[in-house]
Amino acid sequence: MTDHDAQSDGSVTDDRRTDLPVVPRKFLYPFVIVTTLFALWGFANDITNPLVRAFKEIFLISNAQSSLVQWAFYGGYATMAIPAALVIRKVSYKSGIIIGLLLYAIGALLTIPASLLMDFNIFLVGFYVLTFGLAFLETTANPYILSMGPRETATQRLNLAQAFNPIGSLTGMVVASTFILPGLQVSEFRDAQQKAHPEYATMLPSEVDGLITQTMVQHAEDQPEARQEMVAHDLSVVKTPYVVIAMVVLAMLVVFAVSKLPDTGGEEDEIAIMTLMKHLMTNWQYVGGVIAQAFYVGAQIMCWTFIIHYGMTLVGLSAAQAQNYNIVAMVIFLASRFICTFILKFLSPGLLLGILAVGGCLLTIGAIFVQGLPGLYCLIAVSACMSLMFPTIYGIALSGLTPNDAKLGSAGLIFAIVGGAFMPRYQGALIDGEGMTIAGQALESVRVSFFLPLICFVVIAIFGFAVYLFAGKQDSGHSSAKGATA
């Protein structure tokens, strides 16, 4: 391939891209079976997000403390991403998948002792171990999918596989909204307080939320035994779906163990970590991709985790009602990903990434400054802009790496998921703080907290447009070498 055929962001400038298969026939079965993993980690991500609010009320802790759920969950990615990549380089993609599924199941099953002992910290350990497994799965599956066909269609192929991630996410959200949140006795307590105080209907939702929280604290002090029974019941409700998914994951482990999967990674190559790291750190697309990915994951987790806080505090919805809006956001995300995957046939990935990031900025501004349901609608619509970002940043960053080097390069991008650990905790702290007045408009602390995802989208836009404007102008001698998807 010549420099006229492809840019270094993985896009093709002539008609060749539209003629090449996204998934060659010989890779169809491995592509399908590996794609199921994208739904599995999507389920884990989005059944866990609503627990930030649920644990706040079950354990009567602050928003910053409850956001430790995301700290543990996404911190597991940061801890295990690079070790997982090193292990996978020494074994195979298939072995990495099996290890990941096993750790996933173990972490999910730790919710059993956590529930029985009513210990928030054991839940955190379980989420931490679970994401050890997800780090193995994502570090393995993403470059494996990239390697299953022509380099020119790599970004399309990864976007297609990633399109099934929201299906798992949507399933997790539905389980949370129909089984977990409505089944919590703390939710029933909140509803009873609303009915017992008709004057709440004339107050701001943020004021009502604070009053009910105070009542919960007082109830725990006055009736500790009743409170303990409530907590035990609610943690049992939280535990059940994790036990079920652990069984599903173990079944998938058996399927992968007996399946024959092609080895496209060249694991026999010697590992020269320092040389590879030097190569990666001098590749601006890779470094920029890791940074952009950290900000993207942070934005995604903040928007999806705190949509419940937004709905309850600013619109006056129940937890289950607010979670239903999260489901709408995920449906939009899913539809947009398929649409954007099609658009990638005609637009450079960098250009489309930049355009969608600008859209994310504008909609986040709407969520901050627009009152009532229209502001919530803006927050929901942000999901349409986020749909393309993770796999596109991933594909751009790994462009030009050999299959074996892409395994360690992939680890940096999975490590970037640590953005989902740090940023929600900062946002939770902002929600616990005071509001502010901007341009004469008083903004509640929940609204102020969404300036964090706004900053994230600005960073992503800069990366996307930089790739579009400058990647094709640099010396792309690697474009004719065997790339991450050769």
Nearby residues of 28 by Cβ (< 8 Å), 6 or more positions away: none
Q: Which domains does the chain have, with CATH numbers?
A: 22-261 (1.20.1250.20), 273-474 (1.20.1250.20)
Q: Which residue has the higher pLDDT, 53 or 104?
A: 104
Joined together, the tokens standing for residue 67 give 């956001």
Residue 469 three-state SS:
helix
Question: What pLDDT is attached to residue 453?
Answer: 96
pLDDT digits over 309-353, tens only?
A: 899 889 988 888 888 898 899 889 888 988 888 888 888 889 999
Beta carbons of 183 and 236 less than 8 angstroms apart: no
What confidence score (pLDDT) does residue 270 get?
55
User: Could you write out the DSSP letters of every residue in 378-433?
Assistant: HHHHHHHHHTTHHHHHHHHHHTT--HHHHHHHHHHHHHGGGHHHHHHHHHHHHHHS
**Which is nearest to 309 in space by CA: 321, 300, 297, 322?**
322
Question: Per-residue confidence at 249, pLDDT binned at 50, 70, 90?
Answer: very high
What tens digit of pLDDT does each residue of 85-126 get?
778 777 788 888 999 999 999 999 999 999 999 999 999 999
The predicted structure's pLDDT at residue 278: 64
> Do residues 412 and 286 make contact, with C-beta atoms less than 8 angstroms apart?
yes
Please, which residues have CB within 8 angstroms of residue 273's CB and are 6 or more apart in sequence? 86, 408
Cα–Cα dist 303/193, whole Å: 28
Tokens of 78: 């940061």
Separation of alpha carbons 81 and 159, rounded Å? 21
Tell me: the pLDDT tens digits for 399-443?
A: 766 666 666 777 788 788 888 888 988 998 899 888 898 888 889
Q: Could you tell me if residue 122 is left (phi over 0), alpha (psi between -120 and 50 degrees) or otherwise beta?
A: alpha
- Give CA–CA dist 227/39, Å, rounded: 36
Cβ burial, residue 389 (10 Å; 0-12/13-18/19+): buried
pLDDT score recorded for residue 466: 93
Residue 8 pLDDT class (50, 70, 90 cuts): very low
Answer for the pair 321, 428: CB distance below 8 angstroms, yes or no: no
- 64 touches 428 (CB < 8 A): yes
Mean pLDDT of the chain: 84
Q: Are 208 and 314 in contact (CB under 8 A)?
A: no
What's residue 128's pLDDT?
95
* pLDDT reported for residue 229: 94
β-partners of residue 437 are 442
* Entry pTM: 0.75
pLDDT at 479: 36
Residue carrying the six token digits 């105070």: 214
For residue 215, count CB atoms less than 10 angstroms from its CB and return exposed for 0-12, middle for 13-18, buried for 19 or more. Answer: middle
The pLDDT assigned to 241 comes to 92
